[in-house]
Chains A and B, each alone.
Chain A
Amino acid sequence: MYAYNEFDQKFVRQRVSQFREQIEKRLNGSLSEEEFRTLRLMNGLYLQLHAYMLRIAIPYGSLNSDQMRKFAYIADRWDKGYGHFTTRQNIQFNWPKLENVADILDALADVNMHAIQTSGNCVRNVTADHFSGASIDEIEDPRPSAELLRQWSTDHPQFQYLPRKFKIAITGSPNDRAVVKAHDIGLRILRNQQGEVGYQVIIGGGLGRSPFVGHTIREFLPKADLLPYIEAILQVYNLGGRRDNKYKARIKILVHETGIEEITRRVEENFKLQKSEFQKPSDKLIAAIEKRFLAPDFEQSTYENFEAERSESPQFDIFVKRNIADHRRENYAIVTVSLKNIGQTPGDATSEQMRVLADIAQRFSHDELRISHEQNIILPHVQKRHLPEVYKLLQAADLASANIGLISDIIACPGMDYCALATARSIPVAKDISRRFDELKLEHEIGDIKLKISGCINACGHHHLGHIGILGLEKGGIENYQITLGGAADLTMAIGKRAGRGFSAEELLPAIERLIGAYLDLRTSREEVFLSSLKRLGHSPFIEALYPKKESQNVA
Chain B
Amino acid sequence: MSDETKTKGPLLDRSDSRVAHTTTFGGAVKAFFDRVRSGDLGSLPVVVGLLVIWTVFTSFNPIFLSSSNLVNMLFDSSTVGVISLGIVCVLMVGEIDLSVGSVSGFASAMLGVLWVNHGWPVWLAILAAVAVGAVFGAVYALLFNRLGMPSFVSTLSGLLAVLGMQLYALNHTGSINLPYGSWVVDFGQTMIMPKIVSYGLALLPGLIMLWAGYSSIKRRSAANLSAPSLTGLLFKAGLITVMIEAIVFYLNQSRGIPWMFGLFAGLVIAMNYAFTRTKWGRSMTAVGGNREAARRSGINVRMIYTSAFVLCSMFASFGGVLAAARLASSSEQAGTGDVNLNAIAAAVIGGTSLFGGRGSSYSALLGIIVIQSISNGLTLLDLSSALRYMITGGVLAVAVIVDSLARKSRVSHGRA
- The answer to whether A and B interact is no
